[in-house]
Structure 1
Amino acid sequence: MVEDERVQSPELQSTRLESVEIDLSNVPLKPIGKREISQLEMALIIGTLYRPEVLELIRDPVERSTWIDSLAVAAGSLARAKAGMLVTQIADELGRTEATIRSHLSGKTKAGKLVAETYEKLRKGELKLVVPLIRVPLAGSEEAIKTLREEASRLRERVKNLEEEVERLKARSTQLTEALKEREALIEKMRAELTEAQAKLATLAKEREELATKHAELLGKVRQFTQLLEELMKLSQHS
């Protein structure tokens, strides 16, 4: 972190200007795998975003979202192209048309051209990013620290309460899980009993059908016997 030691106006003497230099020397120029692709992609976005002409472009709220989206697609396209991905693969992964990807990679779009220039600076080791930070007031720091400590204490208490609540919910969840297992076991038992009862019912129905058939056969034989008996009685009367 680098401090800005320039002379400040009286009203700013109680403040300190700070800046952060972003080290991009370890960014892979020929990425392998998703992680390295993401590293190169982010470096291209950040490196291009902090260029003066880009900062001027994104001042306009109307153009900002469109421009940033175009910049992100251009950076994503170049990072994936450097990883050896085909245009069709890049288009599928980024959700853009192949024509859009080719336009960015060939530098036909402004975003594609700027991203390509950023890549060249990165390749040559010329890309140095120093990002200014908001002025940090020095006065009243003890009160600020006290306030932060109190807030941290409240947050710790809140976290403790949440952890206890989580433990209670876990215990309740365990109870419900055990109760659910018991209910599932009972359901399985009842299903087995139902299957057995249905099998017995089917057997009884079959036996009943067989008895009905035998009963019908027996009635038929009784009728035949009755007719035969009547005929015998008639013959005996005539004789």
Structure 2
Amino acid sequence: DGICGVGLEEAVKKLQDAGYLSNPSRCPSCGRGNLTDLFRYGKNQDLVGRKCTQWDCRVRFNALNFSRALPDHLGRSFRADQLYAAIKMYTDSGVARPPTPAEAGKTLGLSSKGPRRLFAALLEKEAAAGKQLSQRLVLRNEVELDCTSVRTLRIAPRSHAYAGYIEKWLAKHPGERRPQHFLHYVRVLGATQRGTNKLVLRLLPVKLVAQQAKPPVESVDEVLDSGIFNRIAQGTKLYSDGAFAYPAAV
């Protein structure tokens, strides 16, 4: 048995069943011949492949390269059991931090290059699936609304990237001395359905404050313009932390 107690051919079949690898019946090279069942090949018999049965083709393929969901030519970086174990390490982490490519490589006896390509592809697929789910998610029954700052950036008073926002601040504070630096609190507005893991997030627009100032409270316009109420069903009970914006926006 290989890593995780799974043999090479069994690892390929598990990855096929899970949708990570495809299982074509026709040769992708000539399009005429059927493909053989899985077999081992290579100097150490540690590769799993399939071969075209057409007499004038006979092309051999690494079974790990039959995939639309994973990076090309993964068979050059992984054995079948290593690929299965790497994907299992990533997916078993759930919402926790997945292993780094270096950590996975050390565990599997590989360099970090293969796991890095694999994990980047899995993260991209995960993000796309999350975005698709978020686009059709509707919260209902009892929903809590809140806003928080997830990061604080220190902005130089002569920053070109934030020049427009700095001008807005100066226009709202005529006669005040320009601060030594500004703060950009990256604010996220969230709505979650009680008793579930359903969550809708919206990034609020940039609003600079002077140094040492607290995060700006979300305004009525910011809450309405975020579109978060489009993802909440009518008749839903809304709960907030008492911020003024929510009663005024509902």
Whether these two folds match at TM > 0.5 is no
Question: Which structure: greater strand fraction?
Answer: 2
Larger Rg: 1
- Which structure is higher in helix share? 1
TM-score class, shorter-chain normalisation, is under 0.3
Higher relative contact order (CA 8 A, sep 6+): 1
